[in-house]
């Protein structure tokens, strides 16, 4: 039975998962955090690290969904090979039989007729190990398992990892209340980084909803980790959890700031949403520095000097024809209100985006959850306005 598997040896293989199209954004973030040696995968980035890095990255990465630690990788020629190899792993080294667990998998192999079946084989191998070793078995809990195992099969190669984050890292723990169409927190953080905001220019979201962009921008500008309010991390349920190391990691992070390096402003037409974003902001020391007002976007007066707008206006199907009129008005407001700045808009309404009537300096395909979206940037200078208009 393998007991000193790679998962608990010194140098670990870490796979950091991200959303579609944000691999380079995540690489940039990792580089900035002091991890220059990384390789790009599909919706993930891989690097070497230790458990200290695992704790640090779970806390600090804003653009990651989860961090996996590889336990083992092996060749398989049949379904039985997967079970037999997984059965050799000393699972009792990883977690206690009293912890609940689940297996999530991504299977790209014609060895299996069902993509669900390999997960069952791994689950059976874990259960059979504990039955033999401890005379009892751990319970499977699909929704909120304490230990999450990750199975990746690519043709004839299987990789088993532990998901050290557990629930996805966009469950930040700061958004107690959201609106109908909130932006995913990891998508918001990734878009802010992708937008190239310098963390100094006045940041404005005139459709702020529950305040996700405002909060992620303030967290970034103040150097507070986006996951500072999160309590749950699956690694806390592992047998090797080092509480002291985790406390050190947590305590050395910035948690409180006395000011922000820039102005951050939000507004929304809905009084209810303004209250929600204010409530979410109250969690943080910087909450009182962010001004949020109840008003329609076209009544927003931007401060003097350069401004940076990042927003996701409504794109609902409920609005249908109105969506084009709304986006035309957004375009007109941008043209008249912004003398010097940049506006970045994410929307799933392509017709809406076209109605803005400005030439984007960049267009990127992204997803917000299952929604197919486009993220467009517009450079706005008074002198250049005429050539910008399409």
Ligand X SMILES: C[S@@+](CC[C@H](N)C(=O)[O-])C[C@H]1O[C@@H](n2cnc3c(N)ncnc32)[C@H](O)[C@@H]1O
- Interacting stretch for ligand X, rule CB under 6 A, among 3-11, 80-88, 143-151, 202-210? 202-210
Output 243 or 321, the one with its CB closest to ligand X: 321
Show the binding pattern over residues 110-149: x = contacts ligand X (CB under 6 A), - = does not: ----------------------------------------
For residue 153, give the nearest of 79, 259, 212, 246 by alpha carbon: 79
Residues 166-185 that bind ligand X (CB under 6 A): 178-179, 181-183
Give the whole-angstrom CA distance, residue 58 versus residue 55: 5
Q: How far is the CB of 313 from ligand X (least distance, A)?
A: 6
Among 168, 173, 296, 357, binds ligand X (CB under 6 A): 296
Query: What phi, psi does 68 have (nearest 5°)?
Result: -100, 145
Q: Which stretch binds ligand X (CB under 6 A): 121-129, 225-233, 282-290, 307-315?
A: 307-315
Q: Does 314 bind ligand X (CB under 6 A)?
A: yes
Q: Which residue from 207, 246, 284, 286 is in contact with ligand X, where contact means CB under 6 A?
A: 207
When asked if residue 360 is in the footprint of ligand X (CB under 6 A), the reply is no
Q: Is the CB of 293 or the CB of 362 nearer to ligand X? A: 293
Task: For residue 266, state whether it binds ligand X (rule: CB under 6 A).
Answer: no
Interacting span for ligand X (CB under 6 A) from 43-51, 218-226, 308-316, 349-357 = 308-316
- Closest to ligand X by CB, 62 vs 123, is 62
Burial label, 4 (beta-carbon count in 10 A; 0-12, 13-18, 19+): exposed
Give residues in contact with ligand X (CB under 6 A): 178-179, 181-183, 206-207, 209-210, 212-213, 268-270, 273, 296-297, 312-314
């Amino acid at each position: 039975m393998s007991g000193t598997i790679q998962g608990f040896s010194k140098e670990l293989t870490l796979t950091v998962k991200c959303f579609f199209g944000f691999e380079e954004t995540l690489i940039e973030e990792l580089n900035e955090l002091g991890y220059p040696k990384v390789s790009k995968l599909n919706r993930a980035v891989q690097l070497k690290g230790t458990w200290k890095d695992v704790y640090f990255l779970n806390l600090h990465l804003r653009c990651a969904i989860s961090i996996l630690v590889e336990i083992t990788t092996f060749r398989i020629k049949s379904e039985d090979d997967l079970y037999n190899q997984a059965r050799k792993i000393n699972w009792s080294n990883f977690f206690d039989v009293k912890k609940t667990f689940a297996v999530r998998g991504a299977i790209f192999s014609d060895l299996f007729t069902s993509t669900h079946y390999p997960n069952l084989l791994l689950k059976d191998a874990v259960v059979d190990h504990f039955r033999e070793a401890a005379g009892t078995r751990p319970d499977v809990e699909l929704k909120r398992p304490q230990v999450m195992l990750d199975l990746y099969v690519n043709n004839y190669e299987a990789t088993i990892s532990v998901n050290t984050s557990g629930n996805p890292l966009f469950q930040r723990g700061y958004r107690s209340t959201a609106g109908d169409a909130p932006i995913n927190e990891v998508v918001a953080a990734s878009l802010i980084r992708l937008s190239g905001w310098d963390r100094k220019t006045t940041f404005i979201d005139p459709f702020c909803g529950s305040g996700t962009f405002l909060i992620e921008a303030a967290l970034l500008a103040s150097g507070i980790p986006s996951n500072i309010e999160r309590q749950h991390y699956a690694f806390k349920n592992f047998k090797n959890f080092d509480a002291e190391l985790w406390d050190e990691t947590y305590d050395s992070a910035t948690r409180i700031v006395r000011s922000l390096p820039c102005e951050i402003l939000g507004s929304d037409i809905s009084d209810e949403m303004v209250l929600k974003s204010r409530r979410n902001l109250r969690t943080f020391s910087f909450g009182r520095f962010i001004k949020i007002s109840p008003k329609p976007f076209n009544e927003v007066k931007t401060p003097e000097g350069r401004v940076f707008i990042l927003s996701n206006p409504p794109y609902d199907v409920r609005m249908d024809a109105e969506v084009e009129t709304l986006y035309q008005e957004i375009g007109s407001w941008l043209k008249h209100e912004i003398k010097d700045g940049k506006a970045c808009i994410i929307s799933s309404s392509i017709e809406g985006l076209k109605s803005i009537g400005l030439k984007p300096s960049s267009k990127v395909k992204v997803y917000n959850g299952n929604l197919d979206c486009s993220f467009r940037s517009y450079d706005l200078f008074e002198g250049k306005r005429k050539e910008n208009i399409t």
